[in-house]
Amino acid sequence: MPYFGSEEMVKELKRALSNPNVQADRLRYKNYITKVIRYMTQGLDVSALFMDMVKASATVDIAQKKLVYLYMCTYASDKPDLALLAINTLRKDCADPNPMVRGLALRNMCNFRMPGMTEYIEQPIVAGLRDKASYVRRVAVLGCAKMHSLQPNTDIDGTIVNELYALLRDPDPVVVVNCLRALEEILKDEGGVVINKPIAHHLLNRMKDLDSWAQSEVLTFLLRYRPRSDDELFDILSLLDSFLQSAHAHVAVATLRLFLQLASAHPAVQADALLRTSAPLLATCGAASRELRFAGLCHVQQVMRSQPGLFGTHYKRFFCGYSEPTYIKFRKMEILVELVNDENVALVLEELRSYCTDVSPELAQAAIAAIGRIARTYSEKCLDILTGLLALKQDHITSAVIQTFRDLVWFCPQSTAAVCQTVEACVDSPQDSEGKQALLWLLGEHGDQISSAPYVMEGYIDGLKTELSSAVKMELLTASVKMFLCRPRILRGGNVEESDVCVRDRALLCYRLLQRGVEETRKVVTGPKSDPSMSVLTGRQEEPISQWASTFNTLGPLSGRGLCLQTAVISAADQPSSSAEKELLPDDTEEEISLSLGPPLSHETFEKMWLDLEILHRQTLGFPRPRTAPDTLQAALQLVKIQTLAFTPGDTVPWKAYIYTRSTGTLILAELLQGDQQAPGSDESLVVSVKQQPVNQHAIRGFVSILKSVLQTLNVDSS
């Protein structure tokens, strides 16, 4: 956008530039040219000076030439007819004895963006490709790519492509890499430059002549090459070996990526490469540039998905500095959580504890959540810290701690008692809606263990009118119904004249449920109190390297990581087996088994089948039967799609239960037994005997593990 009043200025400059006195004085002349460029950069329209500037290009001063060329490139598309005149000067410069001038002229001529340019530049480019100065060849090679981008729809010129392939053997390393770049651009539609065996080997041998930029680029191109045999593969790897520890992190990381891909069939080689690159990666995490540091951290996280132990001893490198930006601190905390082990847990927790009181509430809350994650393995120490934080009486901290408690109780039920105690002792309540929801959930779910729960809840119900968030209101409704079920007290009904549709519907639902009777409501409202199968997350299993190798050293780990993590969580959550069971059943394949209810069996059919079939599997579960009400047991089993046929009432000895379920085409029948004199080991713990038709061992294993987790959960709840 030309500035107002620029016309005068342009006129004045024009007068000066065409003044022979000025032209005679080199210094003054150049100063005026500089002035033109300065105005051009500031956005003034100085295109009217085009002819005068073209004249100025006839000089021996290279800097002045460069400025004039810059000017020409900027305005060529606005003044195509005048630019054609300039081309003549440029073509003359292309034949200059000084290679520097030849290169400059050629480069700028290729930068003109106007139609019909190709016919003028083609000949100089072809001549430039054969120039004896490598500087000109470099420019000419990229000129081919520019020429192609000027007219993208024309056919690819076979002779130029062949010439470029031939120039891959050029003695100058930059020419070689520029050839690759140009070919990649020109052949984009055909899948880019082809890396065959001779080219790959040639590039590999030239690697050490290239600068670090070119090295990392060539390494990326080499990803396309597949070695024919293992011998060749190992030859390549040993050639590249020294680059794994290159001084430049980006070369090291690019080499690592190539290693991971080439050696995908050799996990030992991959592991070794990862080990050797860990040093440069760690160095990047401590780089002076923050952006580089962030990139390093993201890649460390990616490597840790397969090799969590690799950085274990370096955990101190991930402690946050005071002046680091928040995005780096977040990453570092995520890494610290993953690196925790028995030896460093005390120090890591101490460090995280000091972040909890940071001025930035986001950082403090993230630190608290991180402690919560560690608490799934080291609950005691973490609970102490979290309880200590409550005493600070800072709103954002209290809220974050309560939310962490909620997640903790859900993931590891064994900490419920301790959490409930703390919540009871905590006097002030969170102020933001997230925190309120968490507190209400805790109160509703575990109200039986928090003696003050009804009073706190009443406080919330009284304050309902002033509550703004509908999410909090919904949580409050559900929680109060749950509370009603476990400690029958009179709670006033929810506010039915509520404007928010969701809240009103939830209130009506609760109201009608309660009208149906207590037992009905209980069935609907009480879900599982925790999900022990989620604890798989804490001991997240190592992913195969191939899962992330393809995105390594791309923008993927920097931006799309959240997505990856999400899918990881989902897939982990889908697996019904917990880590404890994996120890018992080491051959348990990770394949998911799903149980289904199917049509109910009659007592007669069940009896007939039970007598006909052989016992396929018998196992002592190692814990007694849950001391819960029969309905609860039945409901819990129903929840995981196991149907209960019959069981002996109350405390009769021996206690028996018959259950059945279906899974991928087989019917599983089972008997739970406790306290029978005949069955060994059954006096203290439950024994499960399984019969099946048709036989499918995998399904049995899955069934037993699901059954176990349900019964264990019930046991924890009732104890």
Partner 1 sequence: MSASAVFVLDLKGKVFTEYFKELEEESIQDNFVVVYELLDELMDFGFPQTTDSKILQEYITQKGNKLEVAKTKVPTTVTNAVSWRSEGIKYKKNEVFIDVIESINVLVNANGSVMSSDIVGSIKLKTMLSGMPELRLGLNDRMLFALTGRDKGKSVAMEDVKFHQCVRLSRFESDRTISFIPPDGESELMSYRINTHVKPLIWIESVIEKFSHSRVEIMVKAKGQFKKQSVANNVEIHVPVPSDADSPKFKASTGHAKYVPEKNLVVWSIKSFPGGKEFLMRAHFGLPSVENHELEGRPPITVKFEIPYFTVSGIQVRYMKIIEKSGYQALPWVRYITQSGDYQLRTNS
Measured in degrees and rounded to the nearest 5, phi and psi for residue 692 equal -150, 150
Q: CA 111, 116, 119 angle in degrees (round to 5)?
A: 85
Restricted to residues 488-507, the positions that interact with partner 1 (CB under 8 A) are none
- Give me the residue label for tokens 């949580």: 475
| Under rule CB under 8 A, residue 44 binds partner 1 | no
Contact code string over 60-79 relative to partner 1, x by CB under 8 A: xxxx--xx--x---------
| Under rule CB under 8 A, residue 30 binds partner 1 | yes
CA 371 to each of CA 172, 296, 364, 403: distance values in angstroms, whole numbers, following the listed order: 55, 23, 11, 12
Stretch that binds partner 1, among 98-106, 365-373, 679-687, 706-714 (CB under 8 A): 98-106
* Cβ 671 vs Cβ 658: under 8 Å: yes
Tokens of 200: 């790959």
Spell 266-293 as b/e; 16+ CB within 10 A means b: beebbebbbebbbebbbebbeeeeeebb
Q: Return the number of the residue (325 or 630) whose C-beta is nearest partner 1.
A: 325
Q: Return the number of the residue (360 or 594) whose C-beta is nearest partner 1.
A: 360
Among 2, 11, 41, 388, binds partner 1 (CB under 8 A): 41
Closest approach of partner 1 to the CB of residue 133, in Å = 6
Closest approach of partner 1 to the CB of residue 161, in Å = 17
* Cβ 99 vs Cβ 110: under 8 Å: no
Restricted to residues 358-387, the positions that interact with partner 1 (CB under 8 A) are 358-359
| Under rule CB under 8 A, residue 192 binds partner 1 | no
Q: Return the number of the residue (49 or 363) whose C-beta is nearest partner 1.
A: 363
Contact code string over 143-182 relative to partner 1, x by CB under 8 A: --xx-------------------------x-x--xx--x-
DSSP character string of 43-110: T---GGGHHHHHHHT-SS-HHHHHHHHHHHHHHTTT-HHHHHHHHHHHHHHTT-SSHHHHHHHHHHHH
| Under rule CB under 8 A, residue 253 binds partner 1 | yes
Element of type H or E holding 525: helix 518-525
Closest approach of partner 1 to the CB of residue 335, in Å = 14
User: Which residue, 531, 311, 293, 297, is CA-closest to 410?
Assistant: 531
d(CA 467, CA 463): 6
Reported as half-sphere exposure (CB side, CA atoms, 13 A), residue 293 has a value of 18
DSSP 8-class letter at 281: H
User: 142 CB contacts (<8 Å, ≥6 apart)?
Assistant: 107, 110, 178, 181, 182
Closest approach of partner 1 to the CB of residue 470, in Å = 31
| Under rule CB under 8 A, residue 513 binds partner 1 | no
| Under rule CB under 8 A, residue 1 binds partner 1 | no
Q: Return the number of the residue (145 or 595) whose C-beta is nearest partner 1.
A: 145
CA 597 to each of CA 290, 633, 639, 666: distance values in angstroms, whole numbers, following the listed order: 56, 16, 10, 11
Q: Return the number of the residue (314 or 641) whose C-beta is nearest partner 1.
A: 314
| Under rule CB under 8 A, residue 134 binds partner 1 | yes
* Residue 704: exposure state from Cβ atoms within 10 A (0-12, 13-18, ≥19): buried
User: Which residue, 532, 529, 544, 534, is CA-closest to 569?
Assistant: 534
Q: Return the number of the residue (128 or 444) whose C-beta is nearest partner 1.
A: 128
| Under rule CB under 8 A, residue 653 binds partner 1 | no
Restricted to residues 287-346, the positions that interact with partner 1 (CB under 8 A) are 289, 291-292, 295-296, 298-299, 316-317, 319, 321-322
d(CA 39, CA 5): 13
DSSP 8-class letter at 312: G
Among 557, 626, 675, 702, binds partner 1 (CB under 8 A): 557
Q: Return the number of the residue (42 or 571) whose C-beta is nearest partner 1.
A: 42
Q: Return the number of the residue (284 or 379) whose C-beta is nearest partner 1.
A: 284
Q: Return the number of the residue (549 or 595) whose C-beta is nearest partner 1.
A: 549
Q: CA 565, 352, 323 angle in degrees (round to 5)?
A: 95
Q: Return the number of the residue (214 or 438) whose C-beta is nearest partner 1.
A: 214
Restricted to residues 526-555, the positions that interact with partner 1 (CB under 8 A) are 553-555
Residues binding partner 1: what is the number (CB under 8 A)?
A: 77
Instruction: For residue 646, list its beta bridge partners.
Output: 658
Closest approach of partner 1 to the CB of residue 102, in Å = 9
| Under rule CB under 8 A, residue 9 binds partner 1 | no
Among 280, 430, 675, 702, binds partner 1 (CB under 8 A): 280
Restricted to residues 204-223, the positions that interact with partner 1 (CB under 8 A) are 208, 211-214, 216-217, 220
d(CA 318, CA 325): 14
Q: Return the number of the residue (104 or 485) whose C-beta is nearest partner 1.
A: 104
Among 284, 422, 521, 713, binds partner 1 (CB under 8 A): 284
Stretch that binds partner 1, among 277-285, 447-455, 473-481, 567-575 (CB under 8 A): 277-285
Helix (H) and strand (E) counts in the chain: 35, 6
Q: CA 650, 655, 661 angle in degrees (round to 5)?
A: 100
